[in-house]
C-alpha cells in the first residue's frame, strides 16, 4: 500500500502475508485432496515375455512375466480378495507403470475396518521396512510399520502368489517371483481419509485397501488350509462337504480359498442344505451365487465370498455345502484332518440333488471351502491350534472336538454372548516353524507356522472378537527351545492386541509316554507353561495342562482322558478341556 505524506512516498508492507514459496506449496499440497495410488505409479514391474526390456522392477532390468500373471488369474484390473481384503491388480498393460516406489507419498484411501492391506514386494535382496501413517476423517492419525519381503528371496509360506519365471533382457529365468499381501492395524471405527506411505528404498506398492470388519456377520464354521495336496483328479465332479455349525442365523454366505495355488480354480454351481444323513439333504438344496453368477473362478492365492443368501442356518447342526467342479482339479488347498466324512459324486453337476445316490465316494478332508458365516450374531471366538484342537483321535462324524463342545456350551447359556466358535486347528502345526513349505503340492499337511498363518486364520476371520492360542507341543517335541516358543506366543499376543482382539492362551498338555516326549521335552514344555501362567502377556489363561494331567505324575495325562497315544486326549479329555473354560474369559 502506498501513502503520500507531505510530499514523501511511504510504502507500508504487511509482513504477515509474506510466506516463503516452498512453505506455500507445502500448505497447498496439504489442503489438496491426495490422489489415488494409480496416479502415483512410477515403476514398471510387468513385461511381456516378448519385450522384457520394457520393464525394470528391481533396477537391474528384471521384471514379472505378464503371461505368468495371466496364467495365475491376475489380469489387469481384476479384483482379488486376499486375507479378507479386496485389492485390484493394476489396470495396466505390460510395459506401463504399475506400482509405486514408497517414498512418503500421501494416497487417497477410504473406508472403515480392522486393517489396511497392501499388495507389495521388495526389490533390495532382503525384506524392506518403513514407517507410515494413516489419517482419519476426524483429524486423527495412527502410525504403522510396513514390511515387504523380497520378490525373489522372500518366504513362500506367506506369499500371496508365486510366479514361475522372472523376465530379464538376457532371457527368461526359471526362478520364482513372489508378491505379498501385508496388513497393518487401523483404529477401529474410524473412517480412513488417506495413507502416507513409508520412505523405504526398494519397497513397491501395487495396491492398498481397507479390510472391512464384516459387520452384520458371525463366523459359524471355519477350517484352515493345511496345505496343497493331490486330489482325485476330479473332472466334472461335485464335492459335497459336511460341516458343523456353531452359531445359527437367518442368512448365510460361504468362503472358498485358493491359498497356496499357482493356478485359478473354477467353481460351478453351488448349494447349501441341512443334512438329513450321509450325503442326503433334509430339504431341496438352495443355490448360492457369486456376484449374481452361478459360479466363479478363484485366482491363484485368492479367495471368494458368496453373495448373502436368505437361508435359515440352524445352530449346532450339520450343513451340506455342495459345489460342482466343471474342469479337472488334480490338486487343491485343503484341510486334511476333517474327522468328518464328506462326499464326491459320479460325473456331472449334482449340487442341486437332495438325494445321496450320485455321491458314491467318501473324502475325509475339506478342500477349498474355508468358512461359513451367518447373518447377525455377536461375533466369533477363533481357536488357533494343532492336532488336539483339530480333533485328532476324537470320534469321526461326532463333532467331539473341544471347540465343538465349547460352542455347544455357549449356545446353552445366556450369561455371555453366544459367540460362534471357529476351529483353526491343524494337525502337526507349530508356532515358530513351517511344516508345509508354502508352495506347490506336498504330502506334508501340517501347515505353515502359527506366526505365518495368523493373519489369514485369525485376524481376518469373520467378526473375530477373541482368539485362543493352544499350540507349542509340536515345537518342543521337535527340539524347539522354550525361549523360541515363548517369543512366538508373545508375537501372536502382540499382533492380536494391535487388532483389538482379546487373546487367551492355553497351557501345553503333558505327553510322557509318547515317543518324542522325553524328560528334556517336558522341561521345555513346563518352562513355556510357567511363562504363559505368569507373564501377564495374555488377557487370560486356560490351564489345560492342569485339567488333564495326572496329579500323581504331572508329566503324564490322566488315563481317563488319554486317547491311548499319550499325546492326544480322547473324547472325554476333549470334553474336559472345553468344560474347564470360564466363559466369562471370552468376553472382550
* CA pair distance 63, 80, nearest whole angstrom: 21
pLDDT at site 32 = 79
* CA pair distance 38, 146, nearest whole angstrom: 19
* CA pair distance 486, 254, nearest whole angstrom: 35
- H/E stretch holding 495 reads helix 482-498
- 551: Cβ contacts below 8 Å, ≥ 6 apart: none
Per-residue pLDDT of 209-254, as tens digits, reads 999 988 899 999 999 999 999 999 999 999 999 999 999 999 999 9
| pLDDT value at 423 more than 50 | yes
pLDDT at site 21 = 43
Q: State the average pLDDT over residues 455-464.
A: 97
Cβ(385)–Cβ(399) below 8 Å = no
Per-residue pLDDT of 502-538, as tens digits, reads 999 999 999 999 999 999 999 999 999 999 999 999 9
The percentage of the chain sitting over the pLDDT mark of 70, rounded to a whole number, equals 95
Q: Read out DSSP for 394-455?
A: SPTTS--SHHHHHHHHHHT-SSS---EEEEEE-TT--SSS-SS-SSS--S--S-S-HHHHHI
Q: State the average pLDDT over residues 465-482.
A: 98
Pick the CATH number of 378-588 from 3.30.70.260, 3.40.50.1110, 1.50.10.10, 3.40.718.10: 3.40.50.1110
Mean pLDDT in the chain? 94
Per-residue pLDDT of 64-95, as tens digits, reads 999 999 999 999 999 999 999 999 999 999 99
Helix axes 402-411, 571-579, angle to 10 degrees: 40
pLDDT at site 204 = 98
pLDDT at site 534 = 98
Task: Return the half-sphere exposure (C-beta side, CA atoms, 13 A cut-off) of residue 167.
Answer: 24
| pLDDT value at 9 more than 80 | no
Q: State the average pLDDT over residues 309-325.
A: 98
* CA pair distance 162, 74, nearest whole angstrom: 11
- The alpha carbon of residue 494 and the mean position of all alpha carbons in its chain are separated, in whole angstroms, by 17
- Confidence band of 31 (pLDDT split at 50, 70, 90): low
Cell readout for 163 is 510366479
| pLDDT value at 26 more than 70 | no
* CA pair distance 463, 467, nearest whole angstrom: 11
Per-residue pLDDT of 367-399, as tens digits, reads 999 999 999 999 999 999 999 999 999 999 999
Per-residue pLDDT of 276-314, as tens digits, reads 999 999 999 999 999 999 999 999 999 999 999 999 999
* CA pair distance 325, 349, nearest whole angstrom: 8
DSSP-assigned letter for residue 165: -
pLDDT at site 248 = 98
* CA pair distance 206, 189, nearest whole angstrom: 26
Per-residue pLDDT of 137-167, as tens digits, reads 999 999 999 999 999 999 999 999 999 999 9
* CA pair distance 255, 422, nearest whole angstrom: 13
Cβ(503)–Cβ(492) below 8 Å = yes
Cell readout for 479 is 527340539
* CA pair distance 489, 3, nearest whole angstrom: 76
| pLDDT value at 29 more than 70 | no
- Confidence band of 3 (pLDDT split at 50, 70, 90): very low
pLDDT at site 564 = 98
* CA pair distance 211, 111, nearest whole angstrom: 8
3-state class (DSSP) for residue 15: helix
* CA pair distance 301, 303, nearest whole angstrom: 7
Per-residue pLDDT of 430-446, as tens digits, reads 999 999 999 999 999 99
Cβ(205)–Cβ(130) below 8 Å = no
- Confidence band of 409 (pLDDT split at 50, 70, 90): very high
Amino acid at each position: 500500500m502506498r501513502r503520500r505524506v507531505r510530499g514523501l512516498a511511504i510504502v507500508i508492507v504487511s509482513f504477515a502475508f509474506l510466506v516463503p514459496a516452498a512453505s506455500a506449496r507445502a500448505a497447498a499440497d496439504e489442503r489438496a485432496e491426495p490422489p489415488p495410488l494409480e496416479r502415483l505409479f512410477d515403476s514398471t514391474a510387468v513385461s511381456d515375455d516378448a519385450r522384457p526390456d520394457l520393464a525394470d522392477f528391481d533396477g537391474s532390468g528384471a521384471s514379472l512375466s505378464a503371461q505368468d500373471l495371466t496364467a495365475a488369474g491376475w489380469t489387469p484390473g481384476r479384483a482379488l480378495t486376499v486375507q479378507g481384503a479386496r485389492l485390484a491388480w493394476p489396470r495396466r498393460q505390460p510395459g506401463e507403470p504399475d506400482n509405486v516406489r514408497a517414498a512418503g507419498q500421501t494416497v487417497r484411501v477410504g473406508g472403515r475396518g480392522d486393517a489396511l492391506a497392501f499388495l507389495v514386494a521388495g526389490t533390495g535382496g532382503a525384506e524392506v521396512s518403513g514407517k507410515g501413517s494413516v489419517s482419519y476423517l476426524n483429524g486423527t492419525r495412527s502410525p504403522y510399520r510396513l514390511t515387504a519381503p523380497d520378490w525373489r528371496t522372500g518366504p513362500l509360506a506367506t506369499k500371496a502368489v508365486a510366479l514361475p519365471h522372472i523376465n530379464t533382457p538376457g532371457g527368461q529365468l526359471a526362478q520364482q517371483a513372489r508378491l505379498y499381501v501385508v496388513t497393518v492395524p487401523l483404529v477401529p471405527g474410524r473412517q480412513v481419509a488417506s495413507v502416507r506411505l513409508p520412505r523405504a528404498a526398494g519397497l513397491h506398492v501395487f495396491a492398498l485397501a481397507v479390510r472391512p470388519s464384516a459387520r452384520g456377520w458371525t463366523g459359524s464354521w471355519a477350517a484352515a488350509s493345511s496345505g496343497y495336496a493331490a486330489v482325485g483328479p476330479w473332472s466334472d465332479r461335485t464335492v459335497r462337504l459336511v460341516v458343523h455349525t456353531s452359531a445359527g442365523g437367518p442368512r448365510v454366505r460361504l468362503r472358498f480359498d485358493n491359498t497356496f495355488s499357482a493356478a485359478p480354480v473354477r467353481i460351478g454351481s453351488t448349494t447349501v442344505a441341512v443334512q438329513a444323513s450321509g450325503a442326503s439333504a433334509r430339504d431341496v438344496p438352495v443355490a448360492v451365487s457369486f456376484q449374481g453368477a452361478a459360479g466363479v473362478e478363484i485366482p491363484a492365492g485368492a479367495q471368494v465370498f458368496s453373495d448373502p443368501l436368505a437361508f435359515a442356518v440352524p445352530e449346532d447342526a450339520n450343513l451340506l455345502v455342495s459345489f460342482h467342479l466343471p474342469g479337472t482339479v488334480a490338486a487343491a488347498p485343503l484341510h486334511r484332518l476333517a474327522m468328518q466324512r464328506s462326499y464326491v459324486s459320479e460325473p456331472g453337476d449334482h449340487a442341486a440333488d437332495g438325494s445321496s445316490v450320485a455321491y458314491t465316494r467318501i473324502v475325509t478332508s475339506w478342500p477349498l471351502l474355508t468358512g461359513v458365516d451367518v447373518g447377525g450374531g455377536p461375533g466369533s471366538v477363533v481357536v488357533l491350534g494343532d492336532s488336539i484342537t483339530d480333533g485328532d483321535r476324537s470320534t469321526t462324524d461326532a463333532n467331539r472336538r473341544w471347540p465343538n463342545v465349547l460352542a455347544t456350551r455357549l449356545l446353552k447359556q445366556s450369561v455371555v454372548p453366544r459367540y460362534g466358535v471357529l476351529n483353526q486347528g491343524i494337525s502337526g502345526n507349530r508356532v515358530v516353524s513351517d511344516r508345509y513349505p508354502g508352495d506347490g503340492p506336498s504330502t506334508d499337511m501340517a501347515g505353515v507356522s502359527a506366526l505365518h498363518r495368523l493373519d489369514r486364520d485369525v485376524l481376518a476371520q469373520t467378526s473375530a472378537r477373541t482368539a485362543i492360542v493352544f499350540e507349542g507341543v509340536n515345537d518342543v517335541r521337535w527340539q524347539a527351545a522354550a525361549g523360541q516358543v515363548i517369543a512366538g506366543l508373545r508375537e501372536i499376543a502382540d499382533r492380536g492386541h494391535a487388532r483389538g482382539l482379546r487373546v487367551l492362551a492355553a497351557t501345553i498338555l503333558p505327553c510322557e509316554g509318547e515317543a518324542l516326549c522325553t524328560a528334556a521335552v517336558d522341561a521345555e514344555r513346563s518352562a513355556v507353561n510357567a511363562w504363559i501362567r505368569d507373564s501377564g502377556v495374555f488377557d487370560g489363561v486356560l490351564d489345560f495342562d492342569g485339567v488333564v494331567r495326572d496329579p500323581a505324575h504331572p508329566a503324564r495325562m490322566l488315563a481317563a482322558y488319554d486317547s491311548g497315544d499319550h499325546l492326544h486326549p480322547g473324547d472325554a479329555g476333549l470334553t474336559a478341556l472345553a468344560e474347564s473354560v470360564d466363559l466369562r474369559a471370552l468376553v472382550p
